[in-house]
Amino acid sequence: MPKTTSTRKSGKGSEELRKAILVLHGPNLNLLGSREPQHYGLATLEDINQALKTRGEACGVSVDSFQSNHEGQLIDRIQQAKRDGVDFILINPAGFTHTSVALRDAMAATGIPFVEVHLSNVHNREPFRRHSYFSDLALGVIAGLGSQGYELALEFALRHLHVKVASHGSQKTEKTH
C-alpha cells in the first residue's frame, strides 16, 4: 500500500500559503534499511522522510512523501501534485528510472520542476541502470550519495524556490553500525 506523509494544511485545517515539496519514492524503496545495504545504506524510508519533513518545517515548507510499488499510483500522485499546487518534486523513480515512459510523461505533463535522486551510483552498477528516462527533464540528478542525496536535493529545491533557508546542524539520515 502506498504511503503518504505530511500535508499542505495547517493543524487548524486551513490552507497555508507556504511552498510545498513532494518527495516520490518508487518501487522497493519501502524495503530500505534491509534491502541490499551495500547499495542502498541502512537508513529506512521513514528515516529519510522524517529528516526531510523536519528540515522543510524548519524552513516553513511543507514536505509530503509518497512511496508506491505501482507505476499507476505514482502517475496519479504526480497528476494530483499539479492540482494541489506542489512547487517542486524530488523523485527517486527506482526501477522505473530505466523503464517507465509513462512516469516520465507524467513528470513532463505537469511541468513541476524536479530533481532525480538515486541512493546508489547507478553509473558503476549494471549497464541497464545507466539510462534514465528522467535525467534530461530534471533540473539536476544526484546519485551515489546514499540518503544524503535526498537532503542535498531538498537544499537545492529550497534555494530554487527562494525559500529563506534556516541554518541547521548536520542532518543525519544514514544509520551507522
pLDDT per residue as tens digits for the range 28-71: 999 998 877 777 778 899 999 999 999 999 999 999 999 999 99
Taking only the tens place, the pLDDT of each residue in 165-176 is 877 654 444 443
Catalytic residue among 25, 39, 40, 160: 40
Cα–Cα distance, 85 to 83 (Å, whole number): 6
Could you confirm whether 118 is annotated as catalytic?
yes
Q: Is the pTM of this model over 0.85?
A: no
Q: Are 150 and 171 in contact (CB under 8 A)?
A: no
Could you confirm whether 150 is annotated as catalytic?
no
Lowest-confidence pick of 1-5, 50-54, 128-132, 144-148 = 1-5
Cα–Cα distance, 161 to 22 (Å, whole number): 13
Cα–Cα distance, 62 to 52 (Å, whole number): 10
Q: Are 44 and 55 in contact (CB under 8 A)?
A: no
Question: How many C-beta atoms lie closer than 10 Å to residue 126's C-beta?
Answer: 8
Which domains can be identified in the chain, with CATH numbers? 17-160 (3.40.50.9100)
Catalytic residue among 118, 131, 150, 168: 118
